[in-house]
Structure 1
Amino acid sequence: MSLLNIKTIGDPILKKKAAVVEKIDSSTRRLLDDMAETLYNAEGVGLAAPQVGVSQRIIVIDVGDGLIELINPEIVRTEGNMLGFEGCLSIPGMSGEVERFANVSVKFLNRRGKQQRITAKGDLLSRCIQHEFDHLEGILFVDKAKSITKQEDNDD
């Protein structure tokens, strides 16, 4: 496994819609492993392939309950709304208040190509799934934020 370079705001790949993964093979599984290592090293909770320069519909998430790998995710059901603050590994030093669906159901493929489905209800996982899914669509949280806050450096 190896650490990948996280692309930051201004990189054109972050505004591009990611391609569907046509075939899950050893390179796909290697990318999943490298993305997970990169996510943990950056101390994030979610990472989408475009954030590491790969325009494919792949997401890794760990909100504290273990790693979830989503290939070709599709949000199939939404319900309710919630407002909360988000940050992004691709937009360091910024956070914003973003409205999201409270509950989402997502179908996706796992690393073996098996169809899976998860439902997240009103929690960090629900917010994270939607945030990372937006990355696959070329949307950043700052595009949806009701307000944006710059994090001050407190290194005095």
Structure 2
Amino acid sequence: MKLKQLDPLEAYVPAVLLAGVQIKELEKSLEIDQPKYGDCRNILRSGPASSLRVNIRAVAQYAADGGNGKLAFSDVDECLSALEGLDSLLLRASRKDPGASIDSMKAQIATALNALDSLLKTVPTDVLEKGKSVADSYFFAGEEEVAPERLDPELKQLESIL
């Protein structure tokens, strides 16, 4: 079986950064009086978070190629495990299970975000900075009302990935 060649690392980093922001936003949505747990679960399955599994594995593969594979794949496993635990807690909470506390959900989110941060430390600084720039432009593109034909080619690539 022939494996598909990975896209350049630059293609994965902005999506991972955006998924991290999305997970942070999910945490904020748990701070209201009566969170809608079903909606929170949907957040984990939409936008950049929906492709997080593929994207962080690709980043980890690049880290492995650079000699940091053991740590990177450990971070991937920790992040995915925390997100699966969070999803389980959200499901239980939607079914009114008293054992599914907001604090335990926030702990899972913190674990996932820490693992993502650790994984991103394996990315070369120039690639990470470029990824942050692309992710930032994704957030601010709507504010400036940029015509689609004037968008940065990297942003178009990011949007096609998402």
Same fold (TM over 0.5): no
Greater C-alpha radius of gyration: 2
Q: Which has the higher helix share?
A: 2
Q: Which has the higher contact order (CA 8 A, sep 6+)?
A: 2
Q: TM-score when scaled to structure 1?
A: 0.28
